[in-house]
Amino acid sequence: MTGRSMTGRSMTPVPPARPPVAPLLAVEDLHVRFPGPGGAVEAVRGVSFTLKREKLGIVGESGSGKSTLGRAILRLVPPPGEVRAKRLELLGTELSDLSEEEMREFRGRHVSMILQDPGFSLNPVMTVGAQIAEAWQTHTGHSWKKSRRRVLAMLQAVRIRDPERVFDAYAHELSGGMSQRAMIAMMLITEPDLLIADEPTSALDVTVQTQVLAILDELVSRRGMGLIFISHDLGLVASFCDRVLVMYGGRIIESCPAAELDNATHPYTRGLLAAQPTLERAGGRLPVMERDPAWLAEADTGPGR
């Protein structure tokens, strides 16, 4: 992985929509626990970070708490899960203080989420167009006719070649890449300030993956959206995002600029980087990570459990 040329990484600063005084999102000491018969499981244990209008990658393996963190920001952790945070502020609004109804208003308009598997996130008995229009109408109260035009434009914006056909299609009539793009159109039609994308491209083929990433990239740089990009793919995050948080055992164990991920210092991050087979190195054994129990204890910020 070392020596990857970072071509095309000349980030031109984007004029922000609002003066960048406060961060878009501020998370401080976030905990998520799931009570169970064998004691509570703490999925997220004291995570703090801030997000500007940038692309923030969150990497980690399954069970590291990265998806739960994304859901907690949207207040979508299902009961009996408990979310506790000193601060969970989006656009200056403390999310924990909102009622369920206010939160529903907030979701979609200011923050939305793309899930990994488009096959399960689209409604199978509603046409794709109607679903996207519903999202738009709910938040703007526009007429059906106006919505249709807007949805078609949005489908075109996510590079769907034949928007009219896709508008009237059902989820099962679309390929994986197509449904994922329809899903992205639905999440972006309200022009949210923050998009949380949980493995948005891992179910997609490489060619489609590049297109989807280009769409997200453009939205961040053109509209000044904030993006949290959750992924297990270190190489992808290093090349796509601006900044990376590495999660392990519900904690952030390392944080660095994405371009410097190759020089990460934490043994876990180093282990992940080394465990990937590469084309440069021929055969042989892959280094297997020795997990140090101390990794779970370090960076303990206080009353964890």
Partner 1 sequence: MTGAAMIEVRDLTVTFGPRGKPTPAVEGVSFQVGAGEAFGLVGESGSGKTTVLRALAGLIPAWRGRIAIAGQDRNTRNVNGLARTLQMVFQDPYGSLHPRHTVDWALMEPLAIHGFDGTARRVARALSDVGLGPAFRFRYPHQLSGGQRQRVAIARALILEPRILLLDEPTSALDVSVQAEILNLLSDLKRARGLTYVLVSHDLAVVAHVCERLAVVTEGRIVEEMTAAQLRAGEARHPYTRQLLESRRGYSRPATASAGTGAD
| Binding residues for partner 1 (CB under 8 A) | 4-5, 7-9, 61-62, 153-154, 156-159, 176, 205-207, 209-210, 213-215, 217-218, 232, 234-236, 238-240, 271-272, 275-280, 282-283, 285-289
The distance of closest approach from Cβ of residue 21 to partner 1 in the complex, given in angstroms and rounded to an integer, is 25
Determine contact, residues 32/83, Cβ cutoff 8 Å: yes
Query: Which residue, 26 or 209, has its beta carbon nearer to partner 1?
Result: 209
Residue 17 backbone dihedrals phi, psi, to 5 degrees: -65, -35
Please tell me whether residue 217 adopts helix, strand or coil conformation.
Answer: helix
Q: How far is the CB of 116 from partner 1 (least distance, A)?
A: 12
Give the residue among 217, 253, 255 at the shortest CA–CA distance from 236.
217
CB closer to partner 1 out of 62 and 265: 62
To partner 1, the closest distance from the beta carbon of 285 in angstroms equals 5
CB closer to partner 1 out of 39 and 303: 39
Shortest gap between Cβ of 247 and partner 1 (angstroms)?
12
- Is the CB of residue 266 less than 8 Å from the CB of residue 252? no
Q: Are strands 226-231 and 194-198 parallel, antiparallel or unpaired?
A: parallel
Which residue lies nearer to partner 1 by CB, 95 or 122?
122
Q: Is 5 exposed, middle or buried (0-12, 13-18, 19+ CB in 10 A)?
A: exposed
Q: What number of residues does the chain have? A: 305
Whichever of 85 and 261 has its CB closer to partner 1, that residue is 261
Write the CA distances from 262 to 89, 192, 259, 269, 294, integer angstroms.
31, 32, 7, 9, 23
For partner 1, which is the closer residue by CB, 94 or 205? 205
Residue 174 CB, nearest approach to partner 1 (Å): 13
List CB contacts of 36: < 8 A, sequence separation 6 or more.
Answer: none
- For the bound state, the minimum distance from the C-beta of residue 35 to partner 1, rounded and expressed in Å, comes to 20
What stretch of H or E contains 42? strand 41-51
> Nearest CA to 25 among 44, 53, 60?
53
**21 or 288, CB closer to partner 1?**
288
| Closer Cβ to partner 1, 74 or 166, answer by number | 166
CA 234 to chain centre: 14
Instruction: Look up residue 179 and give its two tokens.
Output: 């449904």
In the bound complex, what is the minimum distance in angstroms from residue 199's beta carbon to partner 1? 12
Alpha-carbon torsion, ordered 65, 240, 236, 191, to 10 deg: 60
| 124-to-59, 87, 118 alpha-carbon distances in Å | 31, 37, 11
Kindly state the smallest distance separating residue 93's Cβ from partner 1, in Å: 25
